[in-house]
Chain A
């Protein structure tokens, strides 16, 4: 049983990766589809990072936009003011986001702010940062600040095509998935999962809730901050609206709908829902404004109601069914395989 399972998984992973690598070749003719694919990857990467604090740790963080915005503004400002390469900017942006996470996470976890109140206070943080950057004329302000233009510059991370950004987002997504996987099978991961199930019980069993949550929040903030750097370069400007409450909520929803604590859940949800949303927007956007969101929201509600444990469980069920079916066939002998 085990022997067949690992190769299937590896095959699936490699197959997925191969498809992901080939997507730009297939979409080369259409700039729009490339933007769409990159957007899907971006949301998938952020939602996968969210899985560390939200999915595993059960802390409903609604502040992804805060970390993304901090990373974008750090990277953008370093590049615009001092011509510092975004490769460095990304790391610094990640660190700034981490610092901010510690600043707000420490008191939140220290004072035991939980569940809905944690969600709402993190959501408020995004708006607080947006307003601060709107009022802070030296760095932000109401007008977009443009990054220097280059047709192709690795140093400035500026390209006149989305293809490099697509691959960059893919790499970030893979890194985030890898980190997720590592954590999932580590002491921190088990502690987080226990916290997500039942915080009081986990603490009785000796889990240091405060420290675990803070570690998870820091990791998540760093990853999203670094993605913010790429985000700024991809769009070519920075603006306080990067601190978006809507986006932050959407990231959390992707994490929930994908399946809390399942590594590839958010990826699956982002892949399905973000492409549905963007395709609907492209095809219906011209006619009735907002109609695509009506459909998108309805899909979301239906999934949340009928698959409360997440889309990933759908896949798990399917996987299990195929496995049992295969096992049954093996038992029945070789004759059964040929008629398939």
Chain B
């Protein structure tokens, strides 16, 4: 029993690092623009399909596909800003939700048209196999994915705190008017933020495809999952996001193996609802 729990905590934490990466993208978009992107999870799904495409058509390994999908998703994010989001900035937030739900439906339908409804997976990746440490089984693909996610999260943290663009993004999220006064161009900043947030899903998508399959319903799952991680962490804390990701990943893994595979989403959503009731600012939030 104890062994099972620890094994699940290991698996869940590795998954949780990827969840934190996805939620980081969401938190940049929501934190900076205050724009509610319901299609964020579908960007993850789209990235996974692009990875599948690169893997089957170009015979790239899933590990290498972010070279292609990151720029692609960045562009999609920027275009989404200029064509869809910018017009809704001055509208009620429900209009933003209507537009991004429309985008969500559109993306899901497009994937159905292009890739059909059945699940797709890549057959082979160079990171395969597993290692046994002290009686616990650790899959290389998950371990490396978690490691890469961690590195990217740290890199984004450094980017946001050390570079001019990163500081502009944070300034815009604190006080847009003041940021404009010191020369921050909000259109460029917003477009870049949405591009960056979407590009992060491309990395996550590539990593996920090393050990998972993709189907059109995946988007909804990742959307609520990343909102759950974000709610648990609260806005503005990157280390908080990581811890929340680990909590959510572990809770998911434990509920699947100790209770019932069907209970997976139940446990995550219950955590989500309880957090909103009891700690609306999240565990680590600053605003």
Contacts and interface: CB of A to CB of B under 8 A. Distances in A.
A260 B113 contact: no
B268 to A, nearest CB: 8
Contacts of B113: 288-291, 294
A60 B109 CA distance: 24
A246 B42 CA distance: 14
A124 B98 contact: no
A296 B262 contact: no
A318 B120 CA distance: 49
A125 B273 contact: yes
Nearest to A288: B113
Given A296-B105, A297-B106, A304 B98 contact: yes
Interface of A: 58, 60, 104, 107-108, 111-113, 115-117, 119-121, 123-125, 127-128, 131-132, 134-135, 245-246, 249, 252-253, 256-257, 260, 288-294, 296-298, 300-301, 304-305, 308
17 contacts: A58-B94, A104-B273, A113-B276, A113-B280, A116-B36, A116-B93, A120-B272, A124-B228, A124-B272, A128-B266, A132-B266, A256-B97, A256-B98, A293-B105, A293-B109, A294-B109, A304-B99
B97 A60 contact: yes
B277 A113 contact: yes
A186 B182 CA distance: 49
Contact of B231 (A104, A117, A292): A117
B160 interface: no
A152 to B, nearest CB: 38
Contacts of A111: 276-278, 280
B175 interface: no
Nearest to A120: B227
B112 A290 contact: yes
Contacts of A132: 266
Contact of A257 (B98, B105, B228, B231): B98
B59 interface: no
Contacts of B273: 104, 121, 124-125, 128
B139 interface: no
Contacts of B260: 135
> Looking at chain A's contact residues, is the secondary structure mostly helix, strand, loop, or mixed?
helix
Given A104-B273, A107-B277, A125-B269, 10 more contacts: A60-B94, A120-B272, A124-B228, A128-B266, A256-B95, A294-B110, A304-B88, A305-B88, A308-B88, A308-B95
A308 B87 CA distance: 10
A115 B262 CA distance: 29
Q: Return the 5 tightest CB-CB contacts between A and B, nearest first.
A: A290-B112, A293-B109, A297-B106, A301-B102, A297-B105
A266 to B, nearest CB: 13
B269 A128 contact: yes
Given A245-B220, A301-B84, A301-B102, A121 B266 contact: no
Interface in B58-105: 84, 87-88, 91-95, 97-99, 101-103, 105
B90 to A, nearest CB: 9
B117 interface: yes
B98 A253 contact: yes
A300 B113 CA distance: 18
